[in-house]
Amino acid sequence: MRQRVAEELGRMLDHDDRLVVMLAAISTALFEAARARHPQRVVNVGIREQSLIGVAAGLAHVGLRPVVHTFAPFLLERPFEQLKMDLCHQGLGAVLVSIGASYDFPEYGTSHFCPEDVALLDALPGVEVHVPGHPDEAVGLLPGLAAATGVGYLRLSEASNATAVTMSAGRLRVLRQGSQGSVIAVGPMLDPVLKAVSDLDVTVMYAITVRPLDEATILESLAEPAVAVVEPYLAGTSAGLVSHALAHLPHRVLGVGVGRRDLHRYGGRLEHDLAHGLDPASLRSTISRFLRPSR
Amino acid sequence: MTSKFDHAAQVPAPGAVRPAAYEDLDGLLDLLSGDEKHSSASTSTVDLLWVLYDRVLRVRPENLDDPDRDRFVLSKGHGPAAYYAVLAAKGFISPSVLPEFSAFASPLGHHPDRLLIPGVEISSGSLGHGLAIAVGIAVGLRIQGRREPRVVCLLGDGELEEGSNHEALWLATLLELSALTVIVVDNRSSDLGWPTGVGAPFAAAGWMVERVDGHNRGELERALRRRSETTPNLVIAATGTAL
């Protein structure tokens, strides 16, 4: 996903002279060719993540569109006040493109994990959040992000669904209609969710743009007011918004995602999926219990 | 995005405000009330701000959207009374908004807001943010091929404690941003002090550094007009006990 996005950004630099790629010592090799063609518009600030966001704000200040890229914790958590003050409060925009997701590189440990990212961005006003589940979907989001003026977040992952889904911008897509409840699968959670609910009578919706969340489609496809939202980041991040969509009805909402506990574990991504109950078998059991709660 | 200048009614029409003289600043400052907490921060910058807006910066109320204007980035946003007085003296804002300073619906708070005040390039308050934004503005102007505008960023000696400044000042060197000038107002407000001088971190990064009396308007103007062809430059404006 990262490689495809880097290649596409390189091509976009050729045609859009407002675009500037900002790096902080991460993924620099992937942008080497683009940098050779556009030495002024591929800027590596080194390991200076506060400056990374501040400089991006300055670029936006003169009317350029910065695309800012590094590992999620160093893009969002270390310079969080810069996101709040230099971008949001100033009314300046940027495209923030992260890698690493919740635990894509488990061998690096917790410092490189960022299951908090979407929850943190929820604390800021007006940030668009996109969680593609396939490289084609990630690349397809780039023109819209480049053309926008606000703050947009593109969460890239090493995890990917087997095939891309054709989406209309900003909308959820209903993949299956069922009668016992709804499951919203976000980005790379789609394949595990489809496996998990293959024999369950549920509606399945797919989301890659989660902020703003397409509440209308949740309502329109609702057969039974029980909605589970399965996200590849902190469990419950979108539960409040789903509940907001159903506020006029008695309803049940379940947030499924990454747990808050620091596991102090390395290993592989699938082992972390298992540890957080995000493998198909665990998801099947969690969703089944939610649909038929014991009284 | 918030629309700029919700308080547009208070923006004077071009030519409606008679440009004031340096001698008028005291009267304008008197219109601002409730700035006791920040009064020393404010009076330490009044001469400097006057020199910038009267003699150095190529920015006028009539050219606020000119991409070739000079950019003044006030990073040290606390104690803005002198800034507001100078903006009023130069016709960016109407003197009539000064008395409602810091009221709920006033465009003027204890830290300036760029979306509320014409001519204010950045909203500030949290220390250590302005320099990186100024670096970004200078990089962006270079990308656009604009060689005329200079970018002037004002920091305080206390603010310099924030580590973000030290990221950004080295970055300015490494990116060879000769369009960038930083002014550090040294009024000895750093609790722990700078034993080797507030200019030391900049000098170590290869900046051209000059220290002047922050109340001597002639010296300030001369120092602010002096530039390096290849590196950013620092002017230390010493005031109060730092003189």
Convert the pLDDT of each residue in B128-162 to its tens digit. Answer: 999 999 999 999 999 999 999 999 999 999 999 99
Name the band, by pLDDT with cuts 50, 70 and 90, for residue B43.
Answer: confident
Picking from B66, B111, B126, B143 by the largest number of A CB atoms within 10 A of its own CB, the best residue to mutate is B143
Q: Using a CB–CB cutoff of 8 Å, tell me whether A69 touches chain B.
A: no
Q: Is the pLDDT of residue B35 over 60?
A: no
Convert the pLDDT of each residue in A57-98 to its tens digit. Answer: 999 999 999 999 999 999 999 999 999 999 999 999 999 999
Q: What is the structure's pLDDT at B230?
A: 94
The topology (CATH level 3) of A173-291 is Rossmann fold (3.40.50)
Among 3.30.360.10, 3.40.50.720, 3.40.50.1820, 3.40.50.970, name the CATH number for the domain at B21-242. Answer: 3.40.50.970
Picking from A20, A59, A67 by the largest number of B CB atoms within 10 A of its own CB, the best residue to mutate is A59
Minimal CA–CA distance to B232: which of B186, B167, B169? Answer: B169
- Nearest 5°: CA angle at A291, between A285 and A293? 90
Q: Is the pLDDT of residue A162 over 60?
A: yes
Name the band, by pLDDT with cuts 50, 70 and 90, for residue B241.
Answer: confident
d(CA B107, CA B97): 8
Q: Using a CB–CB cutoff of 8 Å, tell me whether A267 touches chain B.
A: no
Convert the pLDDT of each residue in A118-130 to its tens digit. Answer: 999 999 999 999 9
Mean predicted confidence (pLDDT) in A221-250: 97
Mean predicted confidence (pLDDT) in B73-96: 95
How many angstroms away from the CA of B168 is the closest CA of chain A?
6
Convert the pLDDT of each residue in B199-227 to its tens digit. Answer: 999 999 999 999 999 999 999 999 999 99
CB B117 within 8 A of CB B72: no
Q: Is the pLDDT of residue B69 over 90?
A: yes
Query: What are the chain A neighbours of B138 within 8 Å (beta carbons)?
Result: 58
**Interchain pair B1, A51: CB under 8 A:** no
- Residue of chain A nearest B124, judged by CA positions: A85
What's the farthest any 2 CA atoms get from each other in chain B? 49
| Residue A258 main-chain phi, psi, to 5 deg | -80, 135
Residue % of chain B over a pLDDT of 90: 84
**Interchain pair B67, A46: CB under 8 A:** no
> Across all residues in chain B, what is the average pLDDT?
91
Convert the pLDDT of each residue in A176-231 to its tens digit. Answer: 999 999 999 999 999 999 999 999 999 999 999 999 999 999 999 999 999 999 99
**Interchain pair B123, A56: CB under 8 A:** no
**Interchain pair A48, B171: CB under 8 A:** yes
**Interchain pair B143, A40: CB under 8 A:** yes
Nearest-Å Rg of the Cα atoms of chain A is: 19
d(CA B243, CA B215): 9
**Interchain pair B140, A62: CB under 8 A:** yes
Query: What are the chain B neighbours of A61 within 8 Å (beta carbons)?
Result: 71, 121-122, 133, 136-137, 140
Enumerate the domain spans of chain A. 2-155, 173-291
- Nearest 5°: CA angle at A170, between A165 and A175? 35
Q: Looking at the partner chain, which of B1, B4, B138 has a beta carbon nearest the beta carbon of A149? A: B1
Q: Using a CB–CB cutoff of 8 Å, tell me whether A89 touches chain B.
A: yes
Q: What is the structure's pLDDT at A18?
A: 98
Q: Using a CB–CB cutoff of 8 Å, tell me whether A82 touches chain B.
A: yes
Q: What is the structure's pLDDT at B14?
A: 60
Minimal CA–CA distance to B61: which of B125, B2, B124, B17? Answer: B17
Mean predicted confidence (pLDDT) in A154-162: 98
Query: What are the chain A neighbours of B1 within 8 Å (beta carbons)?
Result: 91, 93, 149-150
> Across all residues in chain A, what is the average pLDDT?
97
Q: What is the structure's pLDDT at B243?
A: 82
Q: How many Cβ pairs closer than 8 A exist between chain A and B?
A: 106
Query: What are the chain B neighbours of A58 within 8 Å (beta carbons)?
Result: 132-140
Q: What is the structure's pLDDT at B11?
A: 65
How many angstroms away from the CA of A149 is the closest CA of chain B?
8
Q: What is the structure's pLDDT at B155?
A: 97
> How distant, in Å, are the alpha carbons of A125, A233, B166 from that of A119?
12, 9, 30
Q: What is the structure's pLDDT at B34?
A: 54
Q: Is the pLDDT of residue B9 over 60?
A: no
How many angstroms away from the CA of A53 is the closest CA of chain B?
8
As its CATH architecture, domain A2-155 has 3-Layer(aba) Sandwich (3.40)
Three-state SS string over chain B comes to: CCCCCCCHHHCCCCCCCCCCCHHHHHHHHHHCCCCHHHHHHHHCCHHHHHHHHHHHCCCCHHHCCCCCCCEEEECCCCCCHHHHHHHHHCCCCCHHHHHHCCCCCCCCCCCCCCCCCCCCCCCCCCCCCHHHHHHHHHHHHHHCCCCCCCEEEEEECCHHHCHHHHHHHHHHHHCCCCCEEEEEEECCCCCCCCCCCCCHHHHHCCCEEEEEECCCHHHHHHHHHCCCCCCCEEEEEECHHHC
Query: What are the chain B neighbours of A85 within 8 Å (beta carbons)?
Result: 123, 125-126, 129
How many angstroms away from the CA of A209 is the closest CA of chain B?
20
